[in-house]
């Protein structure tokens, strides 16, 4: 899932290319008055366009590989939260993952230069809807934060974008996340690559006694503990020292 064009953008692109070919054909025939010369020039133009498209596509694939976005796409929600934690730590933020206990609409709390930011992390395979924006707006109020962000490996629905605009919420979509990662990778700091982020799941194989989901190691105010990966639907926890 690379940069996504809307149907309108795709249609405009196709119409633009067709217009260029027609203009070149017209100019060629106007000066040459030769249908064969015109046809040859048009064919060469099409071949060049195809070559440029292939080259652009190749560069885009290399860009996606460098960003590690494909690995991010295979993460579960909790691992994505911890990935973002590492990403923002590299940018100088103090970061707290809130899913260890009731998150009240925020997955991460960021602090830097006296500002507090609440973040919703959405690792989705489909467009992120309006609910995420509503929740992070509530989290901003609850945590008395200065800013509210929703960060996703996907895109946002029109309703989500409109509410975010009216509610002063920053939306970071797939393309912007990739750019952010690549900018970070280009600094003197160690790049955050998805595969290097430690898994928050232990290899203990423990499952939740209430719902059967995997128990994952988390860290709260009172230290480490195991929490159900089905959170927030299941809030079962186990003492780390007991297991």
201-242 matches 71-196 in CATH topology: no
Instruction: Report residues of the chain scoring pLDDT below 70.
Output: 1-9, 60-68, 99-103, 185-207, 212-214, 217, 219-224, 229-230, 232, 240-243
Q: Residue 94: which residues within 8 A CB-CB, separation 6 or more?
A: 110, 111, 112
pLDDT at 59: 72
With beta carbons less than 8 A apart as the criterion, state whether 39 and 111 touch: no
**Is 152:170 a contact under the CB 8 Å cutoff?**
no
Give the per-residue pLDDT at 243: 42
Q: Which of 183, 182, 218, 212 is nearest to 199 (CA)?
A: 218
Dihedral in degrees, nearest 10, Cα atoms 218, 223, 224, 225:
-90
Domain 71-196 of CATH type 3.40.1350.10: yes
pLDDT for the residue 52 = 87
Please tell me the predicted confidence (pLDDT) of residue 10: 74
Separation between Cα atoms, residue 147 and residue 140, nearest integer Å: 7
Query: Per-domain residue ranges for the chain?
Result: 2-67, 71-196, 201-242
Which class in CATH covers the domain with range 201-242?
Answer: alpha beta
Q: What is residue 93's predicted lDDT score, i.e. its pLDDT?
A: 92
Report pTM. Answer: 0.60
pLDDT of residue 200: 46
The SS3 of residue 207 is strand
pLDDT, position 146: 97
- DSSP secondary structure, 29-55, as one string: HHHH--HHHHHHHHHHHHHHHHHHHHH
């Amino acid at each position: 899932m690379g940069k996504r064009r809307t149907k309108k953008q795709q249609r405009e692109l196709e119409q633009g290319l067709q217009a260029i070919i027609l203009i070149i054909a017209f100019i060629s025939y106007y000066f040459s008055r030769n249908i064969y010369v015109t046809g040859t020039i048009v064919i060469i133009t099409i071949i060049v366009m195809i070559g440029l498209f292939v080259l652009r596509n190749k560069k885009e694939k290399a860009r996606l590989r460098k960003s590690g976005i494909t690995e991010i796409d295979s993460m579960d929600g909790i691992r994505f939260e911890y990935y973002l934690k590492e990403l923002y730590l590299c940018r100088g933020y103090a970061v707290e993952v809130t899913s260890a206990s009731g998150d009240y609409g925020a997955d991460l709390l960021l602090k830097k230069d006296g500002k507090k930011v609440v973040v919703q992390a959405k690792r989705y395979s489909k467009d992120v809807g309006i609910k995420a924006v509503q929740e992070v707006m509530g989290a901003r109020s609850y945590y008395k934060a200065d800013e509210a962000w929703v960060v996703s490996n996907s895109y946002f629905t029109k309703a989500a974008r409109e509410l975010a605009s009216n509610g002063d919420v920053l939306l970071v979509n797939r393309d912007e996340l990739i750019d952010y990662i690549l900018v970070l990778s280009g600094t003197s700091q160690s790049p955050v690559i998805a595969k290097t982020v430690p898994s928050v799941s232990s290899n203990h194989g423990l499952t939740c006694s209430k719902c059967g989901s995997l128990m994952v190691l988390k860290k709260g105010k009172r230290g480490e503990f195991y929490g159900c990966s089905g959170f927030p639907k299941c809030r079962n926890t186990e003492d780390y020292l007991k297991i």
